[in-house]
Chain A
């Protein structure tokens, strides 16, 4: 059905297609803007399709290797290298495949949305080029099995994101937000580079599987671990390194904000990959696990309490994004804290990790949806200020529906997907430490309260005279939001199937370090 060539080369193709499309789009944009829209939309659709094909293949046939520049795609160790995998290797296990699914769905629905929401803006050739570069960066980060390559893709992602955050100059405020993001990203990337240098100096390898196989957990490795956790926790917006998120998220165009959410999840993936695959049982699991739990609890509580008083709807949602990231750190942190103890892992560790990982995909879907609705409202009203909105339920019915779906999902109300993952986190974390579960539930209630307020001030009340001319958002924007809304509902209605087929393999792949190493080094 699908040509074998595409399946075999899918890890490379999903990088090639967006890159080629990105660099050709300035030329194609000179023909006409319609042709460019078709070009970038088509390129993104192809990229998503390839990523989904690859993910499907990984889920059905197991971990995939793709060795760049080798004689064959599976030749991880060249015969004359002395057993060291020297080439750049993409290693896609079920955890990576899950991130590919997230990127494919979000990337496609957001570009459908952008085609309409950005239509009237200038500088579109850079917009789409940078958008596709962001997609490349995310896809590369989550698939690579080479830690230096991870750094390269992280930089591609950061540079493209910084450019896009500043895309709407807005009196220089957006540029300030972009500069803040850029400086912090660079500091984070340098920290990661130092950590990579430490690994390379000790183990003569850049391949993650090789480093993992040789990991000693010396003092230097502890330094490297701290550097990587600090940098990636900052990139995913965990408190106390969250201060760039409200600025960057609120000043970027809404479509880009939705993609920045996915980008943050990719950093989170990097964090989990480092902790579980590079270190695994060599590190002091309880200490690092509790570190992640504390980061998570802080993010949840500080994020939601900062969100409540916000007047700017996107700043408010940005703080909620920080808060939701906390759930993922909490769930996976609990799993990490009991790593190495098989009975506890089976009792609640796996379930906590599955909850945390399930929350990653759920968050990317409903948070993306919420940011897109905010963008639709901004397109029609020209303001993000909650105090100046009201009565939009009369004119923007579909947007209201999507907002309600997103808001109920983020607050963890059944039958939406947020409920499914939060319930898993509550149940498993309660066994580990009841206090943490209570905090998580309180945060959820505060989230609901906050969104009830937002919903009321945007959509309820009589139609305001100054917004009498307001129409529903254009069709492509509704379509983009619709895709995400359908995923939110489907994941909420059938969480069992999703957890069994997508999430559980991902959680087990993270824990099973031996399989990751064995795929590259063979046998081990």
Chain B
């Protein structure tokens, strides 16, 4: 069953903003409240919004379960990969080898107040991104599976 045109248009308008807000929370996880899980959950609410507004058939043609499952696995692998990279560099598992290294996310935080430098904290933002991808896929899968067991109206 699909909702009225007003709801669908509203969902269309809101969807990119929900997505961007979720990605913002993920990317700023090491600076502001929130992080990978919270941001991923916000992104997944975007998926839920689409599911509420459109019928199940339309949604499953837009959002594939396989794709969401792949996101889940890729997120988890990225997370472990960030830990294994430390092993490869000769440090114990999960060492923050990128922090203060000058490479990706490797800028040293200057002492004193600063406006919030995104390019800091080493592997922590990478892990936030990994968790964000994983939660996005995981929660979307849960919503999709729960929905797929609800019988269509009239059937």
Contacts and interface: CB of A to CB of B under 8 A. Distances in A.
Interface in A55-100: 66-73
Interface in B89-147: 91-96
Which among B91, B92, B94 has the highest number of chain A CB atoms within 10 Å? B92
Chain A contact residues, majority secondary structure: helix
Contacts of A73: 92
A9 B76 CA distance: 21
Contacts of B73: 23-24, 26-27
Contact of B93 (A9, A20, A24, A72): A9
B94 A68 contact: yes
B83 interface: yes
Nearest to A22: B76
A70 B92 contact: yes
Contact of A66 (B77, B91, B92, B96): B92
B49 interface: no
Interface in B72-90: 73, 76-77, 80, 83-84, 86-87
A16 interface: yes
Contacts of A26: 69-70, 73
A12 B87 contact: yes
B77 to A, nearest CB: 5
Nearest to B75: A23
B92 A68 contact: yes
Given A23-B77, A26-B69, A9 B94 contact: no
A19 interface: yes
B94 A23 contact: no
A67 B86 CA distance: 13
A15 B83 CA distance: 11
B80 A12 contact: no
A69 B96 contact: yes
Interface in A25-51: 26-27
A439 B87 CA distance: 52
B64 to A, nearest CB: 14
Contacts of A72: 91-92
Contacts of A71: 91-92, 95
Contacts of B96: 69
B84 to A, nearest CB: 6
Contacts of B83: 12, 16
Contacts of B87: 9, 12, 16
Contact of B92 (A12, A23, A27): A12
Interface residues of B, number: 16
A23 B80 contact: yes
A211 B83 CA distance: 27
Contacts of B70: 26-27
B113 to A, nearest CB: 22
B77 A24 contact: yes
B77 A69 contact: no
B95 A16 contact: no
A26 B71 CA distance: 12
Nearest to B94: A69
A24 B73 CA distance: 7
Contacts of A23: 73, 76-77, 80
A67 B80 contact: no
Nearest to A26: B73
A69 B80 contact: no
A136 to B, nearest CB: 11
A12 B96 CA distance: 15
Contacts of A24: 73, 77
Nearest to B123: A69
B92 A67 contact: yes
A69 B84 CA distance: 11
B93 A68 contact: yes
Nearest to A75: B92
Interface string A313-336: 000000000000000000000000
Given A9-B87, A69-B92, A69-B94, A16 B80 contact: yes
Interface in A4-22: 9, 12, 15-16, 19-20
Nearest to A90: B93
A254 B92 CA distance: 37
Contacts of B86: 69
A367 B87 CA distance: 38
Nearest to B81: A20
B93 A16 contact: yes
Given A9-B87, A12-B87, A27-B73, A20 B80 contact: yes
27 contacts: A12-B87, A12-B92, A12-B93, A16-B80, A16-B83, A16-B87, A19-B76, A20-B77, A20-B80, A23-B73, A26-B70, A26-B73, A27-B70, A27-B73, A66-B92, A68-B92, A68-B93, A68-B94, A69-B86, A69-B93, A69-B94, A69-B96, A71-B91, A71-B92, A72-B91, A72-B92, A73-B92
Going nearest first, the 4 A-B pairs with the smallest beta carbon separation are A12-B93, A69-B94, A73-B92, A23-B76
Given A23-B76, A27-B70, 12 more contacts: A9-B93, A12-B83, A12-B93, A16-B84, A19-B76, A20-B84, A26-B69, A68-B93, A69-B93, A69-B94, A69-B95, A72-B91
